[in-house]
Structure 1
Amino acid sequence: MLIAAVLPAESAPQRVVSMNLCTDQIAMLLAAEGQLISVSDLAADPRMSSMADKAAAYQENHGRAEEIYLMRPDLVIAGQFTQGPTVQMLRRLGIRVEVFPPAESIESIRKEIRHMGALLGREKAAEALLADFDEGLETTASKTRRGRAALYYANGFTSGRNTLAGTILDAAGYDNVAGDFGIDDTSALPMELIVMSQPDRVITGSKWPGQSRSEAILDHPALKKLSFGIAEATDRDWVCGTPYILRAIGDLQ
């Protein structure tokens, strides 16, 4: 006991690399100056990242083990669906890699902010960020129900209540049509069922440049005849479980 008492606490990592869009943003929100040295290339894409302007200040990586190893990190932060071989190779090279699952609920967002704060030795910063997030949620989340809404994406997919998009929809005061068909996660939903359910609002993802056949279903005239028509969602605020979902919630209102 006496020996343990005099051992120094594990020092915070000084050269941190994030290789996942969502961990990029939480790390940028919490890291001390100079502590985070690289984020993924997606973090600088304004179509995908809510912090694209801030990401420009960091060296970008493309999730390749060779490039990350040469940065001499003492901590690498990855997402659950990050390239498995990259994570395995970095660990074989003796580099610490921490993996974050996607945050699909308010509570999981709060948990991951605290986890990131602990990894970076930035617990106080994490608690301050959480306080701001909780205050914003109290102000932004709807206190009344606004009707029924359907989330509808390319290839006819929808998101249920156990997804980040479903969480945003619920916080904005909408009942999710996906629940009428027993869909809790992400699944295909025939357009005919969307139309027959007569939602008050249909929310889709932003369209990307080019001619994608998967997105053609979103232009179907049957969808456009629904009560409020189609509202385009801002993808970058919906992609990751970060405090920026407050903007997505506010936009729906």
Structure 2
Amino acid sequence: MAAAGFALAVASPVHGDAPARVVSMNLCTDQLAMMLAAPGQLVSVSAIARDPLSSVMHEAAAGYPVNHGGAEEIFLLRPDLVLAGVWSDPVTVAMLRGLGIEVAQLEVADSLEDIPERVMEVAALLGREAEGQALIGRFETDLAVLAGSPEGPRAAFYYPNGYTLGTGSLSHDMLTHAGFTHIVEELGRDASGRVALELLVLAAPDLVIGSEPYAGASRSEEILRHPALGTLVSGAAGMTSGPDWVCGTPHVTGALADLAAVRAGIEAGE
């Protein structure tokens, strides 16, 4: 699979003005940092980085101490730089900055075009620009290979609480890059949000993309057990959006490869 090419960086050591001790407190910055950091440069990742349902790099994350996003525990790690997301806890971010620690907050990637920019942001922060350019080169090569011809099979996302994804999302861009037609456009929806099960059934997509349920029970998942949805899915292809869908990193090529395989099966009548 294409994503297998994105291994941990083990090349040149930290040098110059690059930070020697980096802490990541966000799942997506965790992954970018693990792919780009020099040996010993990344000293902690967020606890969710070890969750196999959320993190495509959960095995690699097992090799790092974890943090839970608390200002006190991060301060005690003596970081030169903290990587966070724009939606990270503002109180934690403010406390760390008040203590004189540099905190870099990365924007969310809303499209495939955003991913190289996020890679180079982290690469520049870590003093690993050459590694960032190499990672982008591999990503863009794989992205070109995995592009599907447009107006292919019709597909929909359907998650707990009847939630679906709109046109302004990374998942939409991934789906259409793989050559699928996202039926949310037929429904006239630009933003992500809830969609009535009746509308989904009437639209009759060729592919329904769901998520892997967590252990335990949730009322939000009850709609996913509705007989009408079961009938729809039994007549269409189905797949889950796994951890390689979660963050805008080069690992999305794994999801694109899965989409290509599903599309091939639909078009072959399998």
- Specify if TM > 0.5: yes
Alignment of 1:91-102 (within 5 A): 91-102=97-108
- Please report how far the alpha carbon of residue 230 of structure 1 lies from its aligned counterpart in structure 2 after TM superposition: 5.7
1:198 alignment counterpart:
204
2:34 alignment counterpart:
28
- Please report how far the alpha carbon of residue 144 of structure 1 lies from its aligned counterpart in structure 2 after TM superposition: 4.3
Counterpart among 249, 258, 261 of residue 251 in structure 1:
258
Q: TM-score, normalised by structure 1?
A: 0.93
Counterpart among 219, 239, 244 of residue 232 in structure 1:
239
Q: Matched residues in 2 for 1:158 and 1:201: separation?
A: 13
The alignment covers a number of residue pairs equal to: 245
CA contact (8 A) 2:139 2:250 kept: yes
1:177 alignment counterpart:
183
Does 1:152 find its partner at 2:140? no
Render the CA deviation track for 1:32-86: whole Å, top value 9, x for unaligned.
1111111000111111111111111111000000000011101001011111100
CA contact (8 A) 1:195 1:223 kept: yes
Residue segments in structure 1 that go unaligned for 5+ positions in a row: 1-8
CA contact (8 A) 1:223 1:229 kept: no
CA contact (8 A) 1:169 1:176 kept: yes
Q: TM-score, normalised by structure 2?
A: 0.87
- Please report how far the alpha carbon of residue 235 of structure 1 lies from its aligned counterpart in structure 2 after TM superposition: 2.3
Residue segments in structure 2 that go unaligned for 5+ positions in a row: 1-14, 261-270
1:52 alignment counterpart:
58
- Pair 229,223 (structure 1): closer, same or farther in 2 beyond 3 Å: farther
Q: Matched residues in 1 for 2:100 and 2:16: separation?
A: 17
Q: Which runs of 4+ in 1 moved over 4 A?
A: none
Does 1:107 find its partner at 2:113? yes
Q: Matched residues in 1 for 2:17 and 2:162: separation?
A: 49
Q: Matched residues in 1 for 2:225 and 2:174: separation?
A: 24
- Please report how far the alpha carbon of residue 200 of structure 1 lies from its aligned counterpart in structure 2 after TM superposition: 1.1
Q: Matched residues in 2 for 1:163 and 1:192: separation?
A: 23
1:17 alignment counterpart:
23
CA contact (8 A) 1:15 1:37 kept: yes
Render the CA deviation track for 1:12-47: whole Å, top value 9, x for unaligned.
111000000000000100011111111000111111
Q: Matched residues in 2 for 1:247 and 1:189: separation?
A: 27
1:3 alignment counterpart:
none
